[in-house]
Each structure stands twice: as C-alpha cells, then as structure tokens.
C-alpha cells in the first residue's frame, strides 16, 4: 500500500455532486498527474460533510485545510499552490476558517466543533466505495463481536439498555422492537431498512447511505442475528441514485469479503441483503405501505395490528428500522450501551441528525446530542438568519411536524419536548423561517405536498386534505371568512382521528400548529385581507412612496398593464385597480421607492 | 476473506493510511518541509519523497509530512523542521540520503542528528 503524504477529501454527497464535485475530482487528478504528485497525494471521494451551504467542499489533510465553494478552475491553483508548494490558497478557504489571518482546520470551525458525530462518524471521512477504509474505522468489528461473543438475547438486551429510539420519527424504543420480532414465530423472518426518506428538506438517510453504506449493512446483519433472520431488504427510493450505487458497491464488497452470505466469519451464521427500489412516494415511508411495495404491490398502508413484527413482508415477522437508527447500532455494540446512554437527555439517548434548511446561514447536515436547545442549533451551529432578518419560526418533523416560535427556542430537542409543543422529531428536517415567510402560505405548502402524496386508500386523507387545501387557497386569495378558520380546525382534528396511516394522521399538523402560534396571521388574511409578510400575491397592493420617487419612468416602462402614470421627473402613481401584482416595477425601481403591502 | 484474523489484517493495513486524516493521532511527529520556490529549486522535492518513502518502508505511522513556504533562509535550503515530543529541530542543506538518515535516527531512535541541524551550520 502506498503511503501518501497528503489526502484530499472531496465531498461526493448529492448536493456537492450536483455542483460538479465529480468534475472537480477529475480536474484535480489531471493537475496532480501533470505535476507528478499523483503518487504522493491521495484523492478520495467521500460522503456528505454536512455543510452543504458551502459546497462543493474539499478538505486537505494532514493540515485539515477547509476549502469551500470551489470550482473546477480552482483545482489548478490548489494543486500548484497548496499541494506542490505548500501555500494555502486563502481566498478559497471557508469564511470561518480564516480568522485574523490565522488558518483554522476543519475541526475548529464552529459548525463542526459543536457537533457530536455518531451516525455521521464516517461521513466525509472515509471513501464509501472502499470497504477497507470502513474496516480501518472499526468496521465489521461489531458483527464479529456479536457472532463470536454474544447470544441473540444479549444483543437485544444491549440495544434495549442503550435507550436507542427509532430515528425515523416516532421514537419507538428500538430494542423493544427487536425483542418483539425475535419472539415472533415464523419459519422465515426478515430485516428491512426504511430508506424512503420523503420529508421535504430532509436528507440525513441519503447522506448516511452515500457516506457510510457499510454501517447500515453491518447493523442489518447484526439485527438478523439478533432476531433470527437470514434475509434483509433495503427499501430505498430510486430518486437517490448515488446512494443506490454506493449501497450496491458496498453489498458486493461485503459479499466478496464473506461478510454477507453464508457462514459469515466462519461462525455458521448466514445473512444476505437485497435492494428494493421505491418510486419515491411519500406514503411508502409508512411501514405497512413499504412492506406492500417490497412485495411488489402498489404501496398503500394496511391497518395495524397485526404489526410487521408479527406479519410483515410476505406475512412473515419483519424488523423494520430506519437508516439512521441502524447507523447507531454498530457503535452501541462496539462502545457499549452505557456509553451511548450517557449521551443525550433522560428519555432521548444519543444524538440526532438534522437537515437544516430554509432561512439559515449554514444550510446542511448536523448531528447533535439530544437535549441541545433549538437556539444553539439555529444560531451557533446554523449561523443564524441571513441578511440580518428576524427569526420567525422553525418547522421540525417535516409535513408531519409543526412550527415552533421564538418563545420555544430554549426548548431542549428531545422526542417528548417537541411532541409536548405540538411538533415532533420526525426524520429530522428543520426548516427555519424569517419575517418574510407567511405562515399561512407555509401551512398551504405542506398541505399541498401531503394532499399530492395521499395514496387515496382512506377517505379522510383523500378527501379531507383536499378540502383543507381548498380552504387554505380561499384564505390566501383573500376570500376566506372566520367560519373557514373554524371549519379548517374541525376538519384537521377529524382527519387526525380517522385517517388510516401516519400520513393522514399527521397531515393537519402544520395547519394546527400555525393556527395555534400564528392565529393573528390567519386573521389578518381573513379580516383585513392583508398578508403581513407580503407573500400572498392576491392580498398585496403595490405603492410608490412619494418621497423616494425621482420620476425616472423606469417603472412605467416595464409595467405590462400600463397602469403606472406620471411625467418625467414627476411623482409616479400606480393604478391599484388595474395592477396585476406582477412585481416588475418593484424590480425595476432603482430607488426602492416601490413597496408591496 | 473468511476469518476474524483477515479482518484484523485489513484493519491494520488501512489504518496507517487513514491516520493522516485524524489530526490528534498524526501529531506525534510532524515534519515540515520548506517548499518555497527556493526550496523546490534547491531540491526539496526529492528530500520530501525520500522522507515519505523511508517512513513507508519502515512502516511508521503517526508521522505527518507537510509542506511550508520559505522561512527566509533560502541559502540553507532544502530544509525541514522536525517536531517531536514538543521539541523542534531544524535540519538544513538536506539531501535525500541525509533525510533517510534523519528518519532512522531521529524519528525511530530518538537521536537528533546534530551534524545536519541549523545550529551546526550557523
């Protein structure tokens, strides 16, 4: 094996790949070839580093130099200056990595220094397409320990003792789920992995599969041993091509090394995995719909009980966990349940990965100990709200969750604290909103999504969400009444109580939580026919502020309705009656004299 | 691969390579080679290659070899600083052969090769 003096890690997550990290890698290698450095410098494509906002990201070790937003044409300089001559290219550094002209390494950047990485331990550190690198990071040690030193019962006890709860959102105790499946009777049992991440704004499962696929494979094999299954399925949406590709490569490598298949590590235990591709339907994240889909049927939920632990895939006992849940398993086995239970809060152990998005400076993926206050995640790790705007709300738990306001910022992030406030952990999407977001519009956006994704099997979800959406459309277009608000609430509670599966039961949550915390905004839409945030087009009117207008005529020239009148160097006026609210005048005005209200 | 033993072998072989990415572990010894224009033209590249080769040949891990620019004493290039046990030793007027010797004596056996240090030359 070659000893390299320098390693260049390039982010190969979906975000950075779409901003050309593959081309960047090729260009860097071409330059290294030319400079005859290719045998001294190892270039590795890793999984997601997390700080997607600043992508594509490159980290150069051993210094840990952290370059962000690099372009293909920057590679020549990085190769010539940094790798050949040892001079750091300062203008390409991540903004926080250069303080008082002192270059900081990646570990010292606040975004990373406040995180605790368990599920993401190897993401952005190893080459996900190289099983040897995973093994070097203690990979497949846990399965070896389990197979040679532990009984299936002991494994389940260890998981129970760790306090791990399902990271897919509901937070059911993982060890208990394993125990139920282990105790169920059946000639064949299955282990399944839910990688059908569908929440708008959530991408932690994708990142784990892309950055560390072996950790999921190893954990599923451990689960197979614990519950007595010889076969597993990873259900992943086809919209995640990089994750699917890396998972395939990883499964092949594990088979080649004898870590999947028959007689693993000479212990007599056999386990193998298959991938099942989903078409990217939100409802297929529901465990029973996912199972139907694996069986080759249309992905629609079925009533529970019986639970999958009793009757799952092909009617056999099935253990179904989410990607992030599995990503914690090997480390619980390697480091002990006590170690894991020492991290986090009393009832929520370990860490949780969040996908930060929306109006926040550091969009990306963060992993924090449970119990960390929302404020720390949004301001210290997330870097706060861009452009000096005011924080308004944070939506946690995706479409199934709710919006929290600034009075909730000191809430510790745990399963129970979030539920108590009418939101939830969910898979971990965290969308931040500032003063420019209209909460009614946000509720409408999420409802539009769930309405679209409803499978149509049960009436409350199929018809109910549609009716709710109609009411929200009515409100945002200025035709709503106070009775509509009451009806919206009644409908929401009815759907919650009567829908067949989680999709329908949680679909009204964004509406209910915004109604609770931002009722004044709904009332402004209904009573005053105004959108306070200036988002709902139908409720806006465009005005020219007389003091600021210089009479430059730019606005009247772009107006498609010819509804702006005024002479050169004289005050202009918008005829509100004819205005179609296209906003062209606002964009054209050089003096910021036009406002919408 | 069929056994635990094989797993261990792969782990150890790859670990050495990965240590470079773990800053805490790689900091035991740090060799900083001057690679300014002066250093490169004086032959710093073969020196750096020799160090890397020697470390590799001897299967030594926990050493990071990094580059730096010119420190101002161009006439003494090629030169490098070797940090070990919190102590910094500067070697000057180096050649690939001398560098291999320094790896063997200083990194492995803990003896500073005083004849090549800046103190001797100045």
ipTM associated with this complex: 0.73
Does A515 score more than 70 pLDDT?
Answer: yes
Q: Which position has the higher pLDDT, A156 or A86?
A: A156
Going by DSSP bridges, is the β-strand pair A594-596/A573-574 parallel, antiparallel, or unpaired? unpaired
Q: Which residues contact A216 (CB under 8 A, 6 or more apart)?
A: A193, A208, A209, A234, A247, A323, A326, A327
pLDDT value at residue B1: 60
Q: Which residues contact A54 (CB under 8 A, 6 or more apart)?
A: A68, A69, A94, A95, A362, A364
Interface of A with B in 135-194 (CB under 8 A): 135-141, 144, 148
pLDDT value at residue A534: 86
Instruction: State how far the Cα of A245 lies from the Cα of A253, in Å rounded to an integer.
Output: 12
Contact B69 A3 (CB under 8 A): no
Structure tokens that stand for B1 in this block: 């691969």
Q: Kindly indicate whether the domain formed by A540-596 is annotated with CATH number 3.10.180.10.
A: no
Instruction: State how far the Cα of A34 lies from the Cα of A76, in Å rounded to an integer.
Output: 10
pLDDT value at residue A163: 96
Contact A138 B4 (CB under 8 A): no
Nearest CA in chain B to A130: B14
Instruction: State how far the Cα of A93 lies from the Cα of A523, in Å rounded to an integer.
Output: 47
C-beta atoms surrounding A480 within 10 Å: 22
pLDDT value at residue B59: 82
Residues of chain B positioned with their CB less than 8 A from the CB of A107? 23
DSSP state for residue A305 in the 8-state scheme: S
Does A205 score more than 70 pLDDT?
Answer: yes
**Which CATH superfamily groups domain A131-342?**
NADH-ubiquinone oxidoreductase 51kDa subunit (3.40.50.11540)
Instruction: State how far the Cα of A419 lies from the Cα of A405, in Å rounded to an integer.
Output: 14
Measured in angstroms, the CA of A1 and the nearest CA of chain B are apart by 8
Measured in angstroms, the CA of A194 and the nearest CA of chain B are apart by 29
Contact B10 A85 (CB under 8 A): no
Instruction: State how far the Cα of A126 lies from the Cα of A145, in Å rounded to an integer.
Output: 22
Contact A133 B67 (CB under 8 A): no
A36-45, A346-355, A397-406, B54-63 — most confident range:
A346-355
Measured in angstroms, the CA of B7 and the nearest CA of chain A are apart by 7
pLDDT value at residue A581: 85
Among B13, B16, B35, whose Cβ lies nearest the Cβ of A86? B35
Tell which CATH architecture fits domain A351-434.
Roll (3.10)
pTM value is 0.84
Domain boundaries, chain A: 6-114, 131-342, 351-434, 439-528, 540-596
Interface of A with B in 245-274 (CB under 8 A): 257-259, 265-266
C-beta atoms surrounding A171 within 10 Å: 21
CA distances from A541 to A475, A552, A559, A573, A581 (A): 17, 21, 14, 12, 7
pLDDT tens for each residue of A428-473 = 889 999 999 999 999 999 999 999 999 999 999 999 999 999 999 9
Nearest CA in chain A to B1: A257
pLDDT tens for each residue of A517-533 = 999 999 999 999 999 98
pLDDT tens for each residue of A249-282 = 999 999 999 999 999 999 999 999 999 999 889 9
pLDDT value at residue B24: 57
Q: Which CATH class is domain A439-528?
A: mainly alpha
Does A152 score more than 80 pLDDT?
Answer: yes
Contact B65 A135 (CB under 8 A): no
Mean pLDDT of chain A: 91
Residues of chain B with pLDDT under 70: 1-2, 20, 22-27, 70-71, 120-122
Measured over the CA atoms of residue A217, residue A219, residue A223 and residue A224, the dihedral's sign is positive
pLDDT value at residue B14: 83
pLDDT tens for each residue of A577-589 = 888 888 889 889 9
Residues of chain A positioned with their CB less than 8 A from the CB of B3? 265-266
Instruction: State how far the Cα of A45 lies from the Cα of A127, in Å rounded to an integer.
Output: 6
Any chain B CB within 8 A of the CB of A132? yes
Query: Over pLDDT 90: what percentage of chain A?
Result: 66
Q: Kindly indicate whether the domain formed by A6-114 is annotated with CATH number 3.40.50.300.
A: no
- Coil, strand or helix: which one is A61? strand
Structural domains present in chain B: 25-120 (3.40.30.10)
C-beta atoms surrounding B8 within 10 Å: 13
Q: Are A337 and A161 in contact (CB under 8 A)?
A: yes
Q: What confidence category does residue A103 fall into, taking pLDDT thresholds of 50, 70 and 90?
A: low
Respond yes or no on whether the N-terminal peptide bond of residue A317 is cis (omega within 30° of 0): no
Instruction: State how far the Cα of A269 lies from the Cα of A145, in Å rounded to an integer.
Output: 13
Q: Which residues contact A6 (CB under 8 A, 6 or more apart)?
A: A40, A41, A42, A60, A61, A62, A83, B20, B66
CA distances from A480 to A522, A534, A536 (A): 9, 17, 13
C-beta atoms surrounding A527 within 10 Å: 12
Structure tokens that stand for A242 in this block: 């990089």
pLDDT value at residue B26: 45
pLDDT value at residue B18: 75
Instruction: State how far the Cα of A266 lies from the Cα of A262, in Å rounded to an integer.
Output: 9
pLDDT tens for each residue of A395-407 = 998 888 889 999 9
Q: Which residues contact A270 (CB under 8 A, 6 or more apart)?
A: A230, A261, A262, A263, A264
Q: Are A166 and A172 in contact (CB under 8 A)?
A: yes
């Amino acid at each position: 094996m070659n000893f390299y003096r320098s390693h260049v890690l390039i982010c190969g997550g979906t975000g950075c790949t779409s901003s050309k990290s593959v081309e960047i890698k090729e260009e860097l290698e071409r330059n290294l070839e030319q400079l005859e450095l290719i045998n001294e410098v190892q270039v590795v494509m890793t999984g997601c580093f997390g700080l997607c906002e600043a992508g594509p990201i490159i980290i150069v070790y051993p210094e840990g130099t952290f370059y962000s937003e690099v372009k293909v044409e920057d590679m020549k300089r990085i190769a010539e200056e940094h790798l050949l001559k040892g001079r750091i290219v300062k203008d390409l550094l991540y903004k926080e990595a250069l303080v008082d002209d002192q270059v900081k390494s990646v570990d010292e950047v606040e975004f990373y220094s406040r995180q605790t990485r368990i599920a993401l331990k190897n993401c952005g550190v190893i080459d996900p397409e190289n099983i040897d690198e995973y093994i070097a990071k203690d990979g497949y040690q846990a399965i070896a320990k389990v197979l040679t030193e532990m009984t299936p019962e002991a494994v389940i006890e260890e998981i129970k003792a760790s306090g791990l709860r399902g990271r897919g959102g509901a937070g059911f105790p993982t060890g208990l789920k394993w125990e139920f499946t282990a105790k169920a009777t059946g000639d064949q049992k299955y282990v399944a992995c839910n990688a059908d991440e569908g929440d708008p704004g959530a991408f932690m499962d994708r990142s784990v599969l892309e950055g560390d696929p072996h950790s999921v494979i190893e954990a599923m094999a451990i689960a197979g041993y614990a519950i007595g299954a010889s076969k597993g399925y990873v259900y992943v949406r086809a919209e995640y091509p990089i994750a699917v590709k890396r998972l395939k490569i990883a499964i092949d490598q594990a088979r080649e090394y004898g870590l999947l298949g028959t007689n693993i590590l000479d212990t007599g235990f056999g386990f193998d995995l298959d991938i099942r591709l989903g078409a990217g339907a939100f409802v297929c994240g529901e465990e029973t719909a996912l199972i139907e889909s694996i069986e080759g049927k249309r992905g629609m939920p079925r009533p529970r009980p019986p639970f999958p632990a009793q009757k799952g895939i092909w009617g056999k006992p099935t253990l179904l966990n989410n990607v992030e849940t599995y990503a914690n398993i090997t480390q619980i086995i390697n480091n002990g349940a006590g170690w894991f239970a020492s991290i986090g809060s009393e009832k929520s152990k370990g860490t949780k990965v969040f996908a930060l998005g929306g109006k926040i400076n550091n969009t990306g993926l963060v992993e924090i100990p449970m119990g960390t206050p929302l404020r720390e995640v949004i301001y210290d790790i997330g870097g706060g709200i861009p452009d000096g705007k005011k924080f308004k709300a944070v939506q946690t738990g995706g479409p199934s969750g709710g919006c929290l306001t600034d009075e909730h910022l000191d809430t510790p992030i745990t399963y129970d604290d979030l539920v108590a406030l009418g939101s939830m952990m969910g898979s971990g999407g965290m969308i931040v909103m500032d003063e420019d977001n209209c909460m009614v519009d946000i509720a409408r956006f999420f409802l539009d999504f769930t309405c679209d994704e409803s499978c149509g099997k049960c009436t409350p979800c199929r018809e109910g969400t549609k009716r709710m959406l109609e009411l929200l459309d009515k409100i945002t277009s200025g035709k709503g009444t106070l009775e509509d608000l009451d009806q919206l609430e009644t409908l929401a509670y009815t759907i919650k109580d009567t829908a067949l599966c989680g999709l329908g039961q949680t679909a009204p949550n964004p509406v209910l939580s915004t109604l609770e915390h931002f009722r004044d905004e709904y009332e402004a839409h209904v009573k005053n026919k105004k959108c306070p945030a200036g988002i709902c087009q139908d409720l806006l009117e465009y005005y020219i502020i007389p003091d600021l207008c210089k009479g430059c005529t730019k606005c009247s020239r772009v107006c498609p309705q010819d509804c702006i009148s005024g002479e050169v160097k004289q005050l202009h006026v918008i005829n509100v009656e004819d205005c179609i609210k296209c906003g062209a005048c606002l964009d054209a005005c050089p003096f910021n004299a036009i406002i919408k209200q | 691969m069929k056994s635990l033993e094989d797993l261990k072998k792969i782990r150890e072989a790859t670990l050495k390579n990965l240590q470079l990415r773990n800053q805490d572990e790689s900091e035991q010894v740090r060799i900083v080679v001057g690679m300014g224009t002066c250093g490169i033209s004086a032959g710093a590249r073969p020196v750096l290659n020799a160090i890397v080769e020697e470390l590799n040949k001897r299967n030594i891990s926990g050493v990071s070899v990094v580059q730096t620019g010119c420190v101002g004493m161009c006439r003494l290039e090629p030169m490098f600083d070797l940090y070990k046990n919190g102590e910094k030793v500067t070697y000057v007027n180096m050649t690939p052969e001398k560098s291999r010797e320094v790896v063997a004596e200083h990194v492995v056996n803990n003896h500073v090769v005083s004849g090549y240090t800046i103190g001797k030359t100045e």
